[in-house]
A and B are shown apart, each in its own frame.
Chain A
Amino acid sequence: MALWVDKHRPNNLDKLDYHTDLSAHLKKLCASGDFPHMLVFGPSGSGKKTRIVAILRELFGPGSEKIKIDQRIFETPSKRKLELNIVSSNYHLEVNPSDVGNYDRVVIQDLLKEVAQTQQVDASAQKRFKVVVIHEADLLTRDAQAGLRRTMEKYMGNLRIIMCCNTTSKIITPIQSRCLLVRVGAPTTQEICKVLHKVVKKEHCGPLPETLALKLAEDSGRNLRRALLMLETAKVQCHPFKDNQEIPRMDWEDFIRQVTTAILKAQTPEQLQSVRGQLYELINHCIDPTTILKTLAKDIIDRVDANDIKMRFAQEAAFYEHRLRTGQKAIFHLEAFVAKIMSVYKRHLMAMDM
């Protein structure tokens, strides 16, 4: 049994629920037979991949859905072997080159050249080109991106590239100027509600109270995938749906909430020591350190009331998140953040007492 997220994923451009203008544009583009390289960007859970799959279907028909996964081995100039899983159909390839870290350049060079230099032999094929979908393009190294530049122009006849990423900040400008930029914004709360109602109706599992739908949509942070997953968990927990039903939360989120409480309760070295233990626990459970820091910061900011201190905490969070990204060991930065927060907060409390 598939998850609702996958089960009710729209599979062609007409079935998409929101951004209808965009869908119409894309449809026109696919029909024109003259298809550019594309850079699809937007926050997670906004439907980038759904749109890409729909585009492929629009271009190549149902054949694009017959996919197979195979493992390919690439060799670096220093004779190191890299293994990468490639999802492919007769008409397209999907890769995630950032899986191989620093060696993504080799993958890009080898794979794209191979695709680019083989022409479509079948004269009756609908399209003369193959599509390569690159996921997480913002994690590509600069070298790999530079490697894309000329290839994209030179082999335009046989190859189109669709890149999928969260932000264009890290895509180098020469690539941006070669692509059609497609922005997929997150759905609004109303749009999420609409989709939730639709899914519930399709699943025949009773009416979904309006307040619950709204609450789910708001809690998801405009992330449709998360909203759907939460809906499904909610259904497992309590069915039929109730108006004031508790929304299931991730256990690590609760755990972080405890950390926040601890930080706000006392600001002493001993407390820092115990918080450190909790942070280690979170990291050991493979929670991404950035996520920990962001959730923690958001939580703390929500729970202090002075405007100045909120601002200050936001600035500190940004500062330590940047450090975290450039640094090596996550725990140092998380701990530094907590220590900073504690000292700022303590000073604030003392100033209030005076």
Chain B
Amino acid sequence: MSFFAKRQTAAGSSTTAAAAAAAAAQKPWIEKYRPKTMDDISSQEQAVAVLKKTMESQNLPHLLFYGPPGTGKTSTILALARDIYGPEMIGSRVLELNASDERGIQVIREKVKNFARSTVTHNIGNQNCPPYKIIILDEADSMTSDAQSALRRTMETYSKLTRFCLICNYVTRIIEPLASRCAKFRFRPLEEKHSKERLELICQQESVKISPEAILSLIRVSEGDLRKAIMHLQSVSRLVGKDAEIDSAMIADIAGTVPESVIDGLEACWRTKDYKKISSEVQNVVADGYSAARVLSQLHTRLLKNDSLDSMQKAKIAEIFGDMDKALSDGADEQLQLLNMMTRISAIAA
């Protein structure tokens, strides 16, 4: 009997170990290579340096992180929390709420307030941890302004027990009274060298073969968004397998950029004033499934480099781009908008 029992436990533990290994293998690289400690964070020197200083003094202000996606805002605060509290305490001391949680005014009044006013428990282990908790409000710009107003007094009243960290993309969507209660940190789009270091490290650890130009084009298409770059890298490496080398064409393919030939075709249309040609070109672009917003942004870069137009023409065209972007974000029909843009531009450029 005992023999049987022993065997069973052995079998059980091996399956859980296998399952854990499988889960680790399935983990997306963006989670796997998220910086674990403050020292791991390779860029955003300024913000990181200031935060480290404040950590030493054990007196953290309320924080407001803002910046474009994929610049390490969430990673920084998570690493900070881990550094302060250590792995055992982090569960009880940190409350993380993001846009996927209900964050109406009710939740702020009850859940957040209750967590904020509960006193901290004794230190578990010998971690030298400060006597306050952290509430992370991720994606705070999607909170209603009512909910934000409800936070104002809560933040002040319980500031002894709780520090807030708000994270958002657009600082303008945070109401002024909240913003003025926080120390603001701006996260810049990552510099090329930092992105490059990180990507190379990942390639090395995951034994991905990639050409140096491909890394550069990866950085270029991701526009300073490291998460996007890592995501693309993982997708490409999945597609090509372990043995083949990744080149720039594959990166462009996966990133959904519109091929240069298509953009060339559209640009050539500017010169003609022929409606038929323009309309068939536009129809093909739409039917091939390229998104109008992408086409627009790539045409814009093209426009800047175009030498055959003078500044006045470029300015006028830029105005058209603006109109079109607004119309697209209002949900107007892509084909009609593209057609509109092309005809208006051809009136200027031809």
Contacts and interface: CB of A to CB of B under 8 A. Distances in A.
Contacts of B239: 25, 28-29
B254 A311 contact: no
Contacts of B25: 33-34
Contacts of B26: 33-34, 128-129, 156-157
A10 interface: no
A142 B337 contact: no
A8 interface: no
A77 B238 contact: no
B99 A169 contact: no
B294 interface: yes
Interface in A23-62: 25, 28-29, 32-34, 36, 41-43, 46
Among A148, A157, A314: residue with most chain B CB under 10 A = A314
Contacts of B291: 41, 167-169
A319 interface: yes
Interface stretch (B15-23, B50-58, B82-90): B15-23
B292 A167 contact: yes
A27 to B, nearest CB: 10
A319 B340 contact: yes
B331 A325 contact: yes
Contacts of B234: 36
A14 interface: no
B275 A314 contact: yes
A186 B336 contact: no
Given A185-B287, A318-B340, A112 B100 contact: yes
**Chain A contact surface mostly:** helix
Nearest to A223: B287
Interface in A5-32: 25, 28-29, 32
B243 to A, nearest CB: 12
Interface string A303-336: 0000100110011011101100110000000000
Contact-size category for B: 35 or more
A167 B99 contact: no
Nearest to B255: A181
A307 B292 contact: no
B330 A146 contact: no
Contact of B293 (A33, A43, A46, A168): A168
Interface stretch (A172-180, A265-273, A344-352): A172-180
Contacts of B335: 294
Given A297-B336, A317-B336, A318-B327, A153 B273 contact: no
A321 B336 contact: yes
Contacts of A157: 23, 26-27
A291 to B, nearest CB: 10
Contacts of B106: 77
Contacts of B104: 77
Nearest to B296: A169
Interface string B280-295: 0001001111111110
A184 interface: yes
Nearest to B330: A326
A19 B100 CA distance: 35
Given A177-B228, A322-B327, A325-B333, 10 more contacts: A34-B238, A36-B234, A156-B27, A168-B256, A169-B334, A174-B69, A180-B254, A185-B289, A315-B344, A318-B337
27 contacts: A29-B239, A33-B26, A36-B28, A36-B234, A77-B102, A77-B104, A123-B19, A150-B99, A150-B139, A156-B27, A156-B28, A157-B27, A173-B69, A177-B70, A177-B231, A180-B254, A181-B254, A181-B256, A183-B288, A185-B289, A221-B283, A294-B336, A311-B275, A314-B279, A317-B336, A317-B339, A318-B337
The 9 closest A-B pairs by CB, nearest first: A318-B340, A42-B289, A177-B228, A146-B99, A169-B293, A150-B98, A181-B256, A186-B287, A185-B288
